[in-house]
Amino acid sequence: MKVRASTVDGIFYPAEREELAALVRRLLAGAAGAQGAGTEPACCVISPHAAYDYSGAVSAAAFQAAAGRAVERVVLLGPVHREPADRLFLPESAAFQSPLGEVEVDGEAVRTLAGFDPAFALDDIPHLEEHCLEVQLPFVQIVFPQARIVPVLMGRPSPALVNVLASSLRKVFTPFLNRSLVVVSANMTSYRPREQGAVELEAVLELIRSGDWQALVDRSARKSISSCGAGCIAAILSLEKQVGARANILKTASSLELNGDERKVVHYAAVAFERTNHGTDLDDRGAGGPAADGAGGG
């Protein structure tokens, strides 16, 4: 069985099992009861992908907002940092590893997505080189220890790929997020001077609140925003808008708070989407795929 081994343990988060588990639990406890969350557990969250010293508390706020749901599958969406191509990458590996152990990949969901559109590719290499999904794993393992994962990496955040990703999630995971959670791994801004970054952060958060995924993709293409993960955020905004989900900004932070470098500031935010229209599915009930049976797939 192929296992995608952890690669940034000891760099982005502790490499020792007990230390990592204690840290994640401490961060989650600190996020409990945070202001701004909805009245029900989140169906989708945005969580940053920096080292835990920088953004661990922000990630904890995101996952804490989803705690309490009966989650059997966690769909992990994130950007390709190195040599992005016009593809959506699914893993060949059957499990992903962190110091807390292995997390099983939902193979049926991966195979269903792989056959959905030619934009999807089964390729472990981008996953082996990428940290943005790995840093979410310890939170998944602590909050949802029985869940399987569906890791998806997006190459260039083009409108076409955004549409494919949003459409595939809508078609494959029906009824919407029943026993599933979507986690978008994204930073709000990347290495901006202090004042520019602050302005850009507010602009990105406003686009998230308004659900304007087209503007987010357009501004990302024009490089007027530097959000790392803008395409994945856009796909979720497109998806959530169809069911009237509300975005709640839970917590923000920046690298400036830790390293004091005003020239290259990265901003982070925890965002939770609360579904407000419980009577609406995203697609007709004839859609197939692992969520159609409501039992976690194969």
For the chain, the first-to-last Cα distance in angstroms comes to 16
% of the chain residues with pLDDT over 70: 88
What is d(CA 156, CA 281) in angstroms, rounded to the nearest whole number?
A: 29
Q: pTM of the full predicted structure?
A: 0.90
pLDDT digits (tens, 9 = 90+) for 251-271: 999 999 999 999 999 999 999
Q: Which CATH class is domain 7-274?
A: alpha beta
Taking only the tens place, the pLDDT of each residue in 103-116 is: 999 999 999 999 99
pLDDT in tens, 73-129: 999 999 999 888 899 999 999 999 999 999 999 999 999 999 999 999 999 999 999
pLDDT tens sequence across 59-74? 999 999 999 888 999 9
